[in-house]
Amino acid sequence: MLEAIDLSRPPMLAPTSLVLHPGQLTGVIGPNGAGKTTLLKALAGLSRGQGHVRLDGQPFVPHPRRLAWLPASRDSVWPMPASALVQLGLGPAAAPDPAAVAAALAACDATALAHRPVSQLSTGERARILLARAIVARPAWLILDEPIANLDPGHRLDVMALLADEAARGCGAVLALHDLDLARRCERLLLIVGGVVVCDGPPEFVLAPGILATYFGIRRDNHGFQRI
Amino acid sequence: MKAGLALLCIVLALASLALGPVDLAALWARDPELARSLFIELRLPRTGLALLIGAGLGASGAAAQALFRNPLASPDVLGPSSGAALGAVLAGYFLGAGVIGMAMGGLAGAGISLLLLLALAGRGAGTTRLVLAGVAVSMLLGVAINLALSLAPSPFALYDLMFWLMGSLNDRSLPQLALAVPLILIGIVLLLRAAPALDTLALGEEVAQSLGVGLSAVQARVVVAIALATGAGVAVAGSIGFIGLIVPHLVRPYVGHQPGSAVLPSALAGAALLSAADITVRLLPAGLDLRLGVLTALIGAPFFLCLIMGRR
């Protein structure tokens, strides 16, 4: 159980308390600048703001097997091979674990990229390598900022399926996303607007037409979403 | 690769002990006492200093590039080299100190520049603020060196100091070696211990923190270690540029571009490169007084240019 107690970072995030449950896929949606990244970072224990995070009743202490944080940035400075980058996800000075690295790469459909320098990959390919880095230590919690941005439609579905699998094995997965169709695959959605979680519940509740109209200014018709 | 580099260092160290304007073996036959003192008081400290200072510069460069996640960073950006140079210049004139006094002044200067850097950057500063503070401190100290030079009491003092600033290992003695050895070694050991954290920093500061890297502690340790390893070197030998910038680039492809794992091989390659440069300087014709710092810059600047052109 991941508890957020009075997390806040004015003006991006108003005081927020949440309880997240393991084995559940939670989506965080909201317009640009709403505070999704700020909330996720705070949940990952990386905020310089107020409040604190408790993991299973204990104050949160970072560890590769406890919680993985995936930032939205796809930057990579050093042209290291993809497999070496994934290995780093096992933690500083961790013993090389080629089996775990290969499994993580396979789960992200990136086995063929293992020996390529990450700097030469496309943004979408790099996104999959970075996701493999996040899951390689099989952490109890995954906090992922826009893991499916930059991915092609097929790989978006793959990643959503992968996260559902991770949740099924007991992992708590939280991801920010903009794709409201894929957001329906989450068991729980948090809608954040202006630094405040305004809606929290199952997708059919949070993605109701009235809420989409009010907070995103969109409606759905036969051709998909339309601007109101 | 590490074994190969270590072997290269040993070969260069032996060459450095054997080679020079004076043929020690021939001298030994004629005057063993003079040959012995030449060996112990000149060749030995010179060889030791070239290896150690090169190792300190190489390791510091690799660590600086890893910490700042920037392949164009060098230990000089943090300011301790400028601090050490200023300290040595001031000691050189106001105290009229000899080489040992200048080395002590250099160490004090490096220490003060480090305190200035940490005070400017503040506690728990981000890496960007740290590097900006470092650039500010280096520029300030560079101007202070120029000011001190323009206030030189005599043209001879100015000439001596300018020459000293160019960097050299000529006529260094055992006390200087004894002064620099422990400080540089402590610096290198601290950098080696930070290597796994520096590897993890390749993933970015936030991700490294989420993997359990204590960012402020690593930052503080690396900054202090760089100040020790480069400051002590500059204090004894003057400014020797470009080694800290180039060596990590030569080494990194062989360690899978892992920035932290490059620290140890960079130390070895730095030691080998500076020893080779020092032997070269020594073997040049007597009339051509090329300074060590000038030679490393002559090799380093074109390399740096290629690096930038290659990235375009």
Number of other CB atoms surrounding residue A159 within 10 Å: 23
Q: What DSSP letter does each residue of A32-66 carry, written as one string?
A: TTSSHHHHHHHHTT--SSEEEEEETTEE----TTT
B3 has pLDDT over 60: yes
Confidence band of B304 (pLDDT split at 50, 70, 90) = confident
Q: Which of A162-171, B256-265, B294-303 is least confident?
A: B294-303
Task: List the domain boundaries for chain B.
Answer: 2-311
The answer to whether B200 and B48 have CB atoms below 8 angstroms apart is no
Nearest Cα of chain B lies from the Cα of A144 at a distance, in angstroms, of 11
Low-confidence ranges of chain A (pLDDT < 70): none
What local confidence, expressed as pLDDT, does residue A142 receive? Answer: 97
Chain A positions contacting chain B at CB under 8 Å are: 41, 44-46, 61-64, 67-71, 73, 75-81, 84-85, 88-89, 91-93, 117, 133
Contact B207/A71, CB-based, under 8 Å? Answer: yes
Over residues B212-227, the mean pLDDT reads: 91
Nearest to A69 among B70, B71, B206 (CB): B206
Interface test with A, best of B131, B192, B209, B210 (most A CBs within 10 A): B210
Contact A92/B213, CB-based, under 8 Å? Answer: yes
Instruction: Rounding to the nearest 10 degrees, give the CA dihedral for residues B250, B253, B255, B258.
Output: 100
B250 has pLDDT over 60: yes
Helix/strand/coil (H/E/C) assignment for every residue in B29-43: HHCHHHHHHHHHHHH
Which residues are within 8 A (CB) of A177 and not within 5 positions of it... i.e. 6 or more apart?
A27, A28, A29, A146, A147, A148, A149, A183
Contact A73/B199, CB-based, under 8 Å? Answer: no
Nearest Cα of chain A lies from the Cα of B127 at a distance, in angstroms, of 15
Residue A210 CA from chain centroid, whole number: 26
Structure tokens at A21: 């449950």
Structure tokens at B174: 């055992």
| Residue B200 to residues A65, B74, B130, Cα–Cα distance (Å) | 15, 19, 19
The answer to whether A189 and A199 have CB atoms below 8 angstroms apart is yes
Strand partners, A98: none
Contact B202/A41, CB-based, under 8 Å? Answer: no
What local confidence, expressed as pLDDT, does residue B124 receive? Answer: 61
Contact B257/A79, CB-based, under 8 Å? Answer: yes
Contacts of A142 in chain B (CB under 8 A): none
Sign, Cα dihedral of A190, A195, A196, A198: negative
Cα–Cα distance measured from residue B201 to residue B189, given in angstroms and rounded to the nearest whole number: 19
- Where are any strands of DSSP class E within B190-284? none
Most confident stretch, A210-219, B81-90, B130-139 = A210-219
Nearest to B204 among A44, A73, A84 (CB): A73
The answer to whether A203 and A193 have CB atoms below 8 angstroms apart is no
B305 has pLDDT over 90: no
Confidence band of B125 (pLDDT split at 50, 70, 90) = low
Percent of chain B with pLDDT over 90: 37
B115, HSE (Cβ side, Cα atoms, 13 Å): 5
Nearest Cα of chain A lies from the Cα of B293 at a distance, in angstroms, of 29
Secondary structure (3-state) at A119: helix
B160 has pLDDT over 80: no
Length of chain A in terms of residues written = 228
Nearest Cα of chain B lies from the Cα of A211 at a distance, in angstroms, of 33
DSSP A95: P
Contact B207/A77, CB-based, under 8 Å? Answer: no
Contacts of B200 in chain A (CB under 8 A): 88, 91-92
Contacts of A46 in chain B (CB under 8 A): 206, 209-210
Contacts of A133 in chain B (CB under 8 A): 203, 207
Percent of chain B with pLDDT over 70: 97
User: A63: left (phi > 0), else alpha (psi -120 to 50), else beta?
Assistant: beta
Strand arrangement of the beta sheet that strand A196-201 belongs to: A67-70, A141-145, A172-176, A25-29, A188-193, A196-201
Instruction: Rounding to the nearest 10 degrees, give the CA dihedral for residues A105, A64, A163, A132.
Output: -20
B299 burial class (0-12, 13-18, 19+ CB within 10 angstroms)? middle
Over residues B300-307, the mean pLDDT reads: 81
Over residues B96-103, the mean pLDDT reads: 76
Nearest Cα of chain B lies from the Cα of A25 at a distance, in angstroms, of 20
Chain B positions contacting chain A at CB under 8 Å are: 69-71, 196-197, 199-200, 202-204, 206-213, 252, 256-259
Contacts of B197 in chain A (CB under 8 A): 92
B261 has pLDDT over 70: yes
pLDDT digit string (tens) for B188-216? 999 999 999 999 999 999 999 999 999 88
Instruction: Rounding to the nearest 10 degrees, give the CA dihedral for residues B152, B154, B156, B158.
Output: 10
Structure tokens at B188: 């290198």
What local confidence, expressed as pLDDT, does residue A81 receive? Answer: 96
- Tell me, which fold does domain A1-62+169-228 have in CATH? Rossmann fold (3.40.50)
Contacts of A77 in chain B (CB under 8 A): 69-71, 202
Nearest to B14 by CA among B33, B41, B31, B39: B39
What average pLDDT does chain B have? 87
Degrees, nearest 5: CA angle A125-A131-A137: 140
B97 has pLDDT over 70: no
What local confidence, expressed as pLDDT, does residue B312 receive? Answer: 53
Nearest Cα of chain A lies from the Cα of B109 at a distance, in angstroms, of 33
B116 has pLDDT over 60: yes
Cα–Cα distance measured from residue B43 to residue B50, given in angstroms and rounded to the nearest whole number: 11
> Among the CATH numbers 3.40.30.160, 3.40.50.720, 1.10.340.30, 1.10.3470.10, which is that of B2-311?
1.10.3470.10
Contact B210/A46, CB-based, under 8 Å? Answer: yes
Structure tokens at B204: 């970015």
Over residues B65-80, the mean pLDDT reads: 85
Nearest to B211 among A64, A71, A79 (CB): A64
Contact B196/A81, CB-based, under 8 Å? Answer: no
Cα–Cα distance measured from residue B93 to residue B90, given in angstroms and rounded to the nearest whole number: 5
Nearest Cα of chain A lies from the Cα of B97 at a distance, in angstroms, of 45
The answer to whether B72 and B50 have CB atoms below 8 angstroms apart is no
Q: Cis omega before residue A22 (within 30°)?
A: no
Interface test with A, best of B207, B255, B258, B311 (most A CBs within 10 A): B207
Task: List the domain boundaries for chain A.
Answer: 1-62+169-228
Cα–Cα distance measured from residue B129 to residue B135, given in angstroms and rounded to the nearest whole number: 10
What local confidence, expressed as pLDDT, does residue B195 receive? Answer: 97
Contacts of B204 in chain A (CB under 8 A): 71, 73, 75
Cα–Cα distance measured from residue B223 to residue A159, given in angstroms and rounded to the nearest whole number: 40
H helical segments located in B69-165: 80-94, 99-121, 127-150, 155-165
Interface test with B, best of A78, A130, A142, A145 (most B CBs within 10 A): A78
Q: What are phi and psi of B82, to 5 degrees?
A: -65, -40
Secondary structure (3-state) at B253: helix
Number of other CB atoms surrounding residue B24 within 10 Å: 16
DSSP A81: B
Structure tokens at A1: 């159980």
Residue of chain A nearest B203, judged by CA positions: A76
